Structure 1
Amino acid sequence: MFKVGCFKQFFCNIRLRGAPMTTQLKESLKNEVLEQCRRIAGSRQIVAACLFGPWVCGYADKKTDVNVLLVLDSFPLRINSYVETLDGFNVQVLAVNRLDFERDVNKSWFGEFFAEKLTFPYEPLENEEYLRRNELKIKKRTVLELLENLILEFPESSHDFLIEKEYFMYTVMRRRARVFPPITSSFLNMLNGNVAKQNIDSIMDGYLKALKELENENIVFPSDGYIKITRNHINAVKKRKLRLPLFLKSIQRRALPLLLSVFSESANQYIHDQRLLNKNNHKTNAEGLVSKLEDPNKHVLLPTPLGPVSLSDKSEVEEVARKIIPDGEFSKIKIKRFGGVLNDVFLLTITKNGEEQKFVVKQYLDWSNLKWLPLTIWSFGTTSFAVLGQSRLEKEYAINTYLRSKGFPVPTIFHISHQKRLIFEEFIEGKELVENIKRILASYNTPKDIALVKEVGRKIAEAHSLGVTLGDCKPENFLVTKDKVVFLDLEQATRDGNQAWDIAEFLYYAGHYSPPISSANAAGIIAENFIEGYLEAGGRKSNVKQAASAKYTKVFSVFTPPQVLFTISSICQKMGT
């Protein structure tokens, strides 16, 4: 039986150094193993059989058991394990009924306890074609599930991901090790020393074939040696409703007793793996053993002007500064707080050869405490705000990158660190559009002020034509430079969001700068020119008309004078018809 003491033994000292190649099993022993499988099968058909574990992966010694997976047709016990000594070796045969095995491959019926034997190196003994076919099935399903997880976790930046093919292999290892830590030593052994390459090649062969099939199905496509997810697949996953299958609990209830019946026999495999890890490597503390596995996030990257950056990046400010300005030495690096209410924003000044270069560094905080509650209440039922720092970071990067690729005036993002929730971007000199808005409302406006409002309407319409909504469209988030209007703070921006909200927020929020008892004529001038620019650039009238509804005016009624709300709403209604 696999007792608690075995877990304690497993988490004792381990060693990490290259393991030597071992001798392989003799063909005569393999034939004896196959004969053992036939004795177990009796009159039942052997669907397939294979070796797996240390002997296949090349790190076994003479004390190591031989592990066999045996798939039988119409096996009445459904799953069972058998142990026999052959030629001085303990041979453990894990037998499973064909239908149960295929359920595990297709739907993780037993938590992939059996199917996982095909996701790592194995050697077919019987019916190789069946085994390879099912290996491809489970690896293809795994890739699809991992892609879906990436899309759901990073709905915007998944469009830009550069995925290295090894990501899928390392993610499977890391996740299984977290669920069942004793298996970690198996992974460390198979990736250790001079056996690593052959094992990685063996594992990756099935993943490469799965990726090729998914490429043919328009799920992924190759790009400069990386894998990218197609826009169609991202959109399909985002629209899909996640459902917990009703039969999940019944599967667990039915599968668990069967798994426990064979687990105690199979546990010896993990004890042997831990022993081999100790034998071939220097001892070290086993605490945090799972973290010794390759971080899969190293294999998902985002493009930047300085080169691809992985999701695992933890670069410090000075490291990034040296990437931005690689030649020569800095005489000074200065960081000071630079505004920011919902995020920590800093101005990074780098002095080199007597010249200063400035960059903006943003750190995205979680809006988790009560002081951010009004933000949600304010817009409840009308729109939603991303509150987690990670979510806002990925929106800012993804939409900024996308708009920049389409020629929009946005700051260049030089570096992104998901681990530290940091973005390093270009510092642009200019003034907030809100100053022009205030001049118009105070009747001190110039033709240039009016033209800028119209230009903002055009730019928002152009973004909408690409399926992008800005999400936080206040005048403060537009910067006026000498020759253009720049979009700032795209952390609430999304693809295929609520376009009417952008119009409503810009106009009604601009209107709140009106004096409480003043005429609403100036606010009307802003609305008319903004909407003219929006419609001239191809913006939809339906968006303008929708912005006139009470659904939006009620949100801004707490701080925008009622006569201003009424005037802007009336103009939206008229020009949107």
Structure 2
Amino acid sequence: MSEEVYREGLIEATKLTNNHLHAFIVYGSHVAGYARPESDYDFLAVVKDFKEKIRYNYLDLPSGLEASILLVDKETFEKDMERAFLGEFVAGRLYGSYIPLLNKDYILEYEKILKMRTIIEELIDLYSEFESFLPNLMVPLEYFLYSKLKKRMAIYPPVKYSYTKTFFGPSGEANTEFSLRLFRVAAQELSQKGILELVEDKVRIIDPQVTRARIEDFLHHLHQIYRGVKSYLVHAWAGKVGPRIVVNEFRSKISRAFRKYEVPEPLKKPYLLLKLSDADVGFFYESDLEKTIEDTLGSECEIVEKEKVSGFLSTLYRLRVEVKEEKGIYVYKNYSDVGRLKWFPVELWALTAAEFSAAPKTRLSNEYLYLTKLRKLGFNVPKVLAVMWDEKSLLMEYVEGTTLSNLISNKVSDIDLEGVAARVGELLSLLHSHQICLGDAKAQNILVTDEGVIYFTDLEQANQQGNYAWDISLFLFYSARFPTEKGKILRTAESFIKGYGRHGDPAKVAEASSAKYVRIFAPMVLPDTLKSIIDLCREDRTK
């Protein structure tokens, strides 16, 4: 029966277009497998030199079945595919299943163009949300489809029913794969152009800075609003039909509104499909802390204690968690707007000597990136267990130890402080050899376990190819501000400098004692101690 109906539709379209028909498809509920007995057959006709540009035709086929044929000018069709000229009023039909009845290759080429544009637009939106964190994400091809459909549902709510039935109804799996096949081809072409990477049907953007700037994102969102208004206008413009058709169309939309169906989760929240490139780390776009821990550990739990670590503006917490009568300790770090306050006085204090970022997204991205990078390079850092994006937070393993600042200030004894300082200097030089700067290389951000293992923490200001001399200067002079006897401070500083010299550049140590940096620490370090550390930095160790 279907083949006969398709043939009848093609014949009618040929008549309506005076043999100017360029391409022809059938789409809609009958193709997608959710048609009701009263459902129309839906056809799309691409017409050469169609003066009206776009028009709906409702008609009775010779078989007695009702059909709608959307006629669209060929050039107009192409512009809607390439740049949403009609607000995707026509192009939107190619997100679902269809059957090409005439000029299949032409339709496939423009479907690929549509989906290439969709991927790029969705990547722009993702960059707007995730910024520098975006390269850590793996975006499945389904995300591009569902996120686009979600936007279309917001613009034109009646399509909720058809999208739900198409992609999550009886033929949902087949329809989804049909749509993804050209998303796959489009992504492969974008990959060849170096815009993204495609790995097992997952997209990863290579360099967000190459893709977009903020002004482009702003213009995109304006365009998105305009697109929605335009789509409504085109619907009215195209539907030049009589009162009977209008009544039937209205009745159809009202009946859909009252049918009971639930919009599936992927259509409501496509961002839940996003995962990290490191499969061992959980990614939660929206989740409370306890639920995140439960999902990470794979078991129900209870947070029995949440204790703030460090000072007033700190957003670092030690969590004591009970899981199946066993207790564990974890670290929760939030990069909220409260936490950013501590960086404003630091930026003023270190003005001209170093740059700091206060933005929550940037600080979280930096910390995650460099915790991951340092671990891969063999350095000891806390392991990230989960990223909670909505809360701008990380869940990490807890490392038992004491800060190097506590060791220097005599709060802990029986530790080979000089040996630890030398090892810290050596590790910092190795980091610099990998062109990585800590940015915030204070002794209080370095943990030492009872076994003498050294961990770098608080990497939110870490950066690539940054200011190596600043790292050295900050460690040496900021450590000297502690109320500790001068001899111990100088032995620690000398051991650190010797350790750094094993792999590092002596010129960077000398640079660390330049006026550019020293003036920052002068108000907080005793003048005699300050001068002695400067002399240590400038000492000729090549003899």
Tell me the TM-score range normalised by the shorter chain.
0.7 to 0.9
Instruction: Identify which of 309, 317, 320 aligns with 1:345.
Output: 317
Matched, 1:83 2:54: no
Of structures 1 and 2, the one with the larger relative CO (CA 8 A, separation 6+) is 1
1:34 aligned partner, one-letter code: L
1:75-154 map, 5 Å: 75-77=50-52, 79-87=53-61, 91-147=67-123, 149-150=125-126, 153-154=129-130
Q: Does the 8 Å CA contact 1:155/1:238 hold for their aligned counterparts? A: no
Give the superposition deviation at 1:485. Answer: 1.0
1:388-399 map, 5 Å: 388=360, 390-399=361-370
> Which residue does 1:336 correspond to in 2?
306
> Which residue does 2:284 correspond to in 1?
311
* SS of equivalent residue, structure 1 residue 139: helix
TM-score normalised according to structure 1 size: 0.74
Counterpart Cα distance in 2 of 1:544 and 1:111 = 60
> Which residue does 2:359 correspond to in 1?
387
Q: Does the 8 Å CA contact 1:542/1:576 hold for their aligned counterparts? A: no
Instruction: Identify which of 419, 424, 431 aligns with 2:395.
Output: 424
Distance 1:529 1:372, change over 3 A: closer
* SS of equivalent residue, structure 1 residue 409: coil
- Cα deviations across residues 333-364 of structure 1 (Å, max 9, x unaligned)? 631314143315133144767x7542223344
> Which residue does 2:474 correspond to in 1?
505
1:205-354 map, 5 Å: 205-216=181-192, 227=202, 229=204, 234-235=206-207, 237=209, 241-244=213-216, 262-264=234-236, 274-275=253-254, 277-278=256-257, 281=260, 293-302=267-276, 307=280, 309-312=282-285, 314=287, 316-317=289-290, 320=293, 324=297, 334-340=304-310, 341-350=313-322
Matched, 1:452 2:431: no
Instruction: Identify which of 351, 374, 378 aligns with 1:403.
Output: 374
Give the superposition deviation at 1:128. Answer: 1.0
> Which residue does 1:61 correspond to in 2?
36
Matched, 1:187 2:187: no
Unpaired segments ≥5 residues, structure 2: 240-245
> Which residue does 1:485 correspond to in 2?
454
2:309 aligned partner, one-letter code: G
- Cα deviations across residues 446-502 of structure 1 (Å, max 9, x unaligned)? 993233223223223333444443332221110011232101122333455554543
Instruction: Identify which of 134, 147, 172 aligns with 1:171.
Output: 147
> Which residue does 2:440 correspond to in 1?
472
> Which residue does 1:18 correspond to in 2?
none
- Cα deviations across residues 44-63 of structure 1 (Å, max 9, x unaligned)? x5442323333332223354
Counterpart Cα distance in 2 of 1:296 and 1:322 = 19
> Which residue does 1:4 correspond to in 2?
none
Give the superposition deviation at 1:199. Answer: 1.5
2:371 aligned partner, one-letter code: N
> Which residue does 2:243 correspond to in 1?
none
Matched, 1:434 2:401: no
Tell me how many residue pairs correspond in the alignment: 529
> Which residue does 1:359 correspond to in 2?
330
- Percent of counterpart pairs with the same letter? 26
Unpaired segments ≥5 residues, structure 1: 1-24
Matched, 1:413 2:379: no
Counterpart Cα distance in 1 of 2:115 and 2:195 = 15
Distance 1:219 1:564, change over 3 A: farther
- Cα deviations across residues 76-124 of structure 1 (Å, max 9, x unaligned)? 44x3223231325664444444444333333444443333322222222
* SS of equivalent residue, structure 1 residue 194: coil
Counterpart Cα distance in 2 of 1:250 and 1:299 = 26
- Cα deviations across residues 351-403 of structure 1 (Å, max 9, x unaligned)? 767x7542223344323897764344444554132332x54344333322232
Counterpart Cα distance in 2 of 1:90 and 1:498 = 72
* SS of equivalent residue, structure 2 residue 285: coil
- Cα deviations across residues 197-254 of structure 1 (Å, max 9, x unaligned)? 222121111122233444555655566x56363xxx5236468645539998998999
Q: Does the 8 Å CA contact 1:151/1:234 hold for their aligned counterparts? A: no
